[in-house]
A and B are shown apart, each in its own frame.
Chain A
Amino acid sequence: MSLFQITDLAGLHHHLEAAMQLEHATIPPYLTALYSIRPGSNTEAFDIIRAVAVEEMLHLTLVANLLNAVGGTPDLTTAGFVATYPAMLPDGEEDFAVDCQKFSPEAIETFLRIERPADLNHRQQGGKTVTRQKVAGAVTAGHTGAATEEHFFSIGEFYKAIEDGLDRLYADIGDALFSGDPARQIGPEYYYSGGGGLIEVTDMASAKAALDLIAEQGEGVTDTIFDEDGEIAHYYRFQQLVLGRYYQQGDARDAPTGGPVPVDWSAVYPIKTNARLDDFPMGSDLRNAAESFNRTYATFLDRLTRAFRGAPEQFIPAVGDMFHIKELFYRIMRQPIGDASDLHGAPTFEIDRSTEKTA
């Protein structure tokens, strides 16, 4: 994906499309680690990862509301929308790739990088800019331009650039910026069982509120661990798994003093990292199940796209789809691949292959 400073409405649309892709790109890795945990074990870790994954879904929907508000058209069905893992994040951090892997110290390490606060750059690297080069395997967007590319150290910086762009365009055209059909906004009644809430975006104030919520939940604001509602930022949630303790109010960064967070890295299905359909023998039950997963996921993304384009009631069956997807995750992760490795299968998220005819 190539991103350039926002100077016009098309640039804003492009950034918001990238943001939707970015929010979604975190979900397969989070769900893969989450469902690799054997049911009944690692309950603290399960709750932590689940809460973050649900909030990424909230962020995806908030960005869709933003895109709709400024006259864009959300589309989760574009070829390439779903990343091929290992993947570089669409906002351009090129110092790490994201894997779909089991719950493990390596997975949490990656999750910390995904959610890292912007100022970690300054604290750890003296504010050095991360240079961007063309990276094989980077997520490519459906729409790209051609000028000087932007690159961001953190998701927070990426959203800051979107906010700056929004400010510039608002200064130019005022409320005309929010030309989208309000009927396409997804309201708070469609989100539950997670922190934060859905915000309908119809003007500058609600747009800023949506962006602020995404930033706060992700990496925290400046150097805070908890936001004003007492919710802990994703980065620090994950850090609890590494440090083995919960944060409590008043704690300093990197030094939680709450109760213990026990972790059993062995109570996990031994799934293959970044599994692909071609890892599973053609015609095997496992291959069929993985292909079925991809078709189900493609149908689900199509349903979300319809929900974002004026049919919000589609969110109700979409939640049913999510639970069905969870069942398919477990079914696949409990199957040995059957090669010499003793590894188990995992959903492959090769959504662009979901329309292939099976042999």
Chain B
Amino acid sequence: MTPDTPHNDLRPGFLALSTALTGFSEHELLGTGQTMIYLQTVCDMARSDCIADMLDAFCACAIGDDKAALDRHLRLCILSHPRHGPLARNLVKLWYTGTWHCLPRDWHESYGGNPADHDHIPSPTSYTEGLLWPAIGANPPGAKPFGYGMWANPPRVFRA
């Protein structure tokens, strides 16, 4: 995935919403190397105009550093919204587990997503870069840390 993919203009909004939804910083999300892969995935499975609308809805409200206001905005305008909500929840699962789950049938019938939408793992590194591992302070079994005998050491987990 190169930076000049068709969805590059959505990248800043996608990162901002992903930061709000996951609780991880932009630095941490970029560090996984998954940002453009995941943006491509949601655009492929749900149509890029749905994503653009959701990002517009999120960015429409200038909240600054007010965490309570951000929380309220996310719940009211994104998670409770009939079209944005399922997408946003899928995005949370995607970042944490590295797996894209097929959107609900109702959602596809109402909003016309990709008929080929299906459960899948977007890249070979999605599992190892899942946010659930740093969130629980553990390493992805079988994938990190590399090196003979390193499994015997306490996890060395990165948080910015």
If A40-B124, A267-B2 touch, whether A334 touches B146 (CB-CB below 8 Å) is: no
User: Complex formed: what's the CA distance from A38 to B145 in Å?
Assistant: 20
Q: Is the CB of B149 within 8 A of A316?
A: yes
Chain A: CB-nearest residue to B153: A320
Min CB gap A36→B, angstroms: 12
By a CB distance below 8 angstroms, the chain B residues around A266 are 2
Q: Is the CB of B160 within 8 A of A288?
A: yes
Residue A289 interfacial (CB < 8 Å): yes
Min CB gap B78→A, angstroms: 25
Besides A286-B27, A316-B149, 4 other A-B contacts (C-beta < 8 A): A285-B27, A289-B27, A317-B153, A336-B30
By a CB distance below 8 angstroms, the chain B residues around A323 are 145-147, 150
Which A residues fall within an 8 A CB radius of B? Answer: 38-40, 266-267, 270, 285-286, 288-289, 316-317, 319-320, 322-324, 326-327, 330-331, 334-336
Q: Which of A38, A270, A326, A334 contacts B31 (CB 8 A)?
A: A334
Min CB gap A33→B, angstroms: 17
Chain A: CB-nearest residue to B125: A39
By a CB distance below 8 angstroms, the chain B residues around A324 are 145, 156
User: Complex formed: what's the CA distance from A335 to B29 in Å?
Assistant: 10
Q: Is the CB of B25 within 8 A of A320?
A: no
User: Complex formed: what's the CA distance from A319 to B1 in Å?
Assistant: 30
User: Complex formed: what's the CA distance from A299 to B129 in Å?
Assistant: 25
Residue B3 interfacial (CB < 8 Å): yes
By a CB distance below 8 angstroms, the chain B residues around A288 are 160
By a CB distance below 8 angstroms, the chain B residues around A267 are 2
Q: How many residue pairs between the two chains, A and B, have CB atoms under 8 Å in the bound complex?
A: 58
By a CB distance below 8 angstroms, the chain B residues around A317 are 147, 149-150, 153
By a CB distance below 8 angstroms, the chain A residues around B150 are 317, 320, 323
Q: Is the CB of A319 within 8 A of B31?
A: no
Residue B123 interfacial (CB < 8 Å): yes
Q: Is the CB of A335 within 8 A of B31?
A: yes
By a CB distance below 8 angstroms, the chain B residues around A320 are 145-150, 153
Residue B82 interfacial (CB < 8 Å): no
* Interface members, chain B 130-150 (any A CB < 8 Å): 144-150
Q: Is the CB of B149 within 8 A of A330?
A: no
Chain A: CB-nearest residue to B147: A320
By a CB distance below 8 angstroms, the chain B residues around A39 are 33, 124-125
Interface residues on B, range: 20 to 34
Chain A: CB-nearest residue to B29: A334
Q: Is the CB of B33 within 8 A of A322?
A: no
User: Complex formed: what's the CA distance from A286 to B27 in Å?
Assistant: 7
By a CB distance below 8 angstroms, the chain B residues around A331 are 31, 158
Q: Is the CB of A330 within 8 A of B147?
A: no
Min CB gap A192→B, angstroms: 9
By a CB distance below 8 angstroms, the chain B residues around A327 are 144, 158
By a CB distance below 8 angstroms, the chain B residues around A322 are 147
User: Complex formed: what's the CA distance from A267 to B2 in Å?
Assistant: 6
Q: Which 7 A-B pairs have the closest CB atoms?
A: A320-B147, A285-B27, A323-B146, A331-B31, A320-B150, A319-B147, A285-B160
21 residue pairs bridging A and B, Cβ less than 8 Å apart:
A39-B33, A39-B124, A270-B3, A285-B25, A289-B27, A289-B160, A316-B147, A316-B148, A317-B149, A317-B150, A317-B153, A319-B147, A320-B145, A320-B146, A320-B153, A324-B145, A327-B144, A330-B33, A334-B30, A334-B31, A335-B30
Min CB gap A52→B, angstroms: 20
By a CB distance below 8 angstroms, the chain A residues around B25 are 285
By a CB distance below 8 angstroms, the chain B residues around A289 are 27, 31, 160
By a CB distance below 8 angstroms, the chain A residues around B125 are 39-40
Interface centre among A319, A323, A334 (most CB of B within 10 A): A334
By a CB distance below 8 angstroms, the chain B residues around A286 are 27
User: Complex formed: what's the CA distance from A29 to B123 in Å?
Assistant: 28
User: Complex formed: what's the CA distance from A193 to B55 in Å?
Assistant: 46
Q: Is the CB of B145 within 8 A of A334?
A: no
Q: Is the CB of A335 within 8 A of B27?
A: yes
Min CB gap A307→B, angstroms: 14
Q: Which of A38, A270, A335 contacts B1 (CB 8 A)?
A: A38
Chain B: CB-nearest residue to A335: B30
Interface centre among B25, B146, B153 (most CB of A within 10 A): B146
User: Complex formed: what's the CA distance from A286 to B160 in Å?
Assistant: 9
User: Complex formed: what's the CA distance from A215 to B6 in Å?
Assistant: 48
